[in-house]
Amino acid sequence: MQFKTLMVTLGLALSTVSAVQAADEKKVVIAYQTGAVPYLVGIANGELAKQTGWNIEFKRFNSGADIFAAIASGDVQLGDVGSSPYAASASKDLDVKGIYITAGAGDSEALVVRPQIQSSADLKGKKFSAAPVSTDHYQLLAYLKQEGVSEKDAQVIAMPQPQIVAAWKRGDIDGAFVWDPALSELKKDGKVLVTSGEVSKRGAPVFSALVVTGDFAKQNPEFLTKYVGLIDRYYVDFASNPKNWDAASDNIKAIAKLQGGTPEENAAWLNSTVVVPLNQQVTASWLGAGDQSGVAKTLKDTATFLKDQKKITAVKSSYANFVDPQYAAAALASN
């Protein structure tokens, strides 16, 4: 009996070890940013990890540039990033693939200025800021160029968003291109001069996307298909059932608990999100069509602008290798 008990105990111990090892083998670190997007509910309530069956560690960052630094170091395998740091990192041969569009350009990012700045004519001689190598930084520079304001005419200072808010409150800067929660903070005593959507329509489009490292993608296609399908369900519900996402909803309360701010603030931030339906994401307008895809073209155009601004040193002839629609297509078919 003692021998049999020992064997049973040993068997249970080995089973526990095997389960732990299996969980370790299915571990992934996923990065997200400040602000509000629908899938954050799945992070807050644990459903994304539960539904995939993986050990997912979610890490919050202040900018896409910070996420790409973590990807380059091997600390992060997936991340939600803006198109400008995406273009810059791809131009430097970081092996990443864009697999899902988490937001299009709209009112969720904007240039906020002091009340005395009435128009673009008042921009000269002023100081502006944006997070380094972010979509906001890109669009700030693009907007100034569109308005004929050179680097000699206005000073652009790159700094993380928390520092931007502090600099604004001290009066050190006259304006900043930001997203929430910094956007709401600056709007308290400033005004929106131009939105991300407006700058995009004028020739400097941006977007946010989930990117994955090439190695992780090769080894885990089933997980990526499952994950894309899961996060897309939050977007579908957000677009289809507005009442599920108002300030009194459990969804918004969960996001507020994760990201900070009041439910009312988070509901307002989320309502500015531009959703790109999955059946559109797989088309040539976004992830589909290889070199002719909208994402690949935007990356190249953005990289060209960044090179002209001396933010990067080279532009690739094609960015098709940094875009992969197969997971979105598979998720669309399974959903």
Q: What is the pLDDT of residues 60-73, one digit of tens each?
A: 998 999 999 999 99
Chain position carrying tokens 């083998």: 25
- Asked whether residue 13 carries a pLDDT value surpassing 50, the answer given is no
The region of weakest confidence among 168-172, 202-206, 239-243 is: 202-206
Percent of the chain past pLDDT 90, that is, above it, reads 79
- Asked whether residue 1 carries a pLDDT value surpassing 70, the answer given is no
Which of 146, 171, 201 is at the close of a domain?
Answer: 201
pLDDT at 14: 46
pLDDT at 24: 56
Amino acid sitting at position 96: V
Half-sphere exposure of 194 (CA within 13 A, CB side): 22
219 and 79 in one domain? Answer: yes
Q: What is the pLDDT of residues 140-178, one digit of tens each?
A: 999 999 999 988 899 999 999 999 999 999 999 999 999
Over residues 311-318, the mean pLDDT reads: 95
248 and 181 in one domain? Answer: no
310 and 298 in one domain? Answer: yes
The DSSP code sequence of 178-227 is EETTHHHHHHTTSEEEEEHHHHHHTT---EEEEEEEHHHHHH-HHHHHHH
Over residues 106-121, the mean pLDDT reads: 91
Q: What is the pLDDT of residues 254-281, one digit of tens each?
A: 999 999 999 999 998 898 889 999 999 9
pLDDT at 247: 96
How many Å apart are CA 123 and CA 166, to the nearest integer? Answer: 21
Q: Give how far Cα 18 sits from Cα of 26, 57, 106, 156, 204, Å.
A: 12, 20, 48, 54, 51
96 and 217 in one domain? Answer: yes
- Dihedral angle over CA of 80, 303, 65, 263, nearest 10: -50
137 and 31 in one domain? Answer: no
Q: What is the pLDDT of residues 21-40, one digit of tens each?
A: 444 579 999 999 988 899 99
Count of beta carbons in the 10 Å neighbourhood of residue 94: 16
pLDDT at 199: 93
How many Å apart are CA 146 and CA 11, to the nearest integer? Answer: 70
- Asked whether residue 8 carries a pLDDT value surpassing 60, the answer given is no
165 and 237 in one domain? Answer: no
Per the CB < 8 A criterion, the answer to whether 274 and 103 are in contact is yes
How many Å apart are CA 26 and CA 49, to the nearest integer? Answer: 11
257 and 223 in one domain? Answer: yes
Mean pLDDT in the chain? Answer: 91
Over residues 302-314, the mean pLDDT reads: 91
Per the CB < 8 A criterion, the answer to whether 278 and 335 are in contact is yes
Nearest to 36 by CA among 245, 191, 196, 240: 245
Name 56's bridge partners. 28
Nearest to 271 by CA among 111, 107, 112: 107
Q: SS3 for 71?
A: helix
213 and 195 in one domain? Answer: no
Chain position carrying tokens 């800067």: 173
328 and 211 in one domain? Answer: yes
Domain count, the chain: 2
How many Å apart are CA 287 and CA 332, to the nearest integer? Answer: 13
* Helix ranges restricted to H, the chain: 2-25, 40-44, 47-52, 64-73, 83-91, 135-146, 161-170, 182-187, 196-201, 214-219, 221-240, 250-259, 263-271, 278-281, 294-308, 326-334
In this prediction, residue 11 has a pLDDT band, given cuts at 50, 70 and 90, of low
250 and 158 in one domain? Answer: no
Over residues 200-225, the mean pLDDT reads: 95
pLDDT at 106: 83
Chain position carrying tokens 């249970």: 12
Which of 201, 217, 244 is at the close of a domain?
Answer: 201
Range of the structural domain that residue 267 is part of: 2-105+206-334
Angle made by CA atoms 57, 63, 64, in degrees to the nearest 5? 80
Which of 157, 181, 201 is at the close of a domain?
Answer: 201
241 and 285 in one domain? Answer: yes
317 and 212 in one domain? Answer: yes
Cis ω for the linkage preceding 181 (within 30 of 0): yes
CATH number at residue 129: 3.40.190.10
Is the pLDDT higher at 18 or at 51?
Answer: 51
pTM comes to 0.84
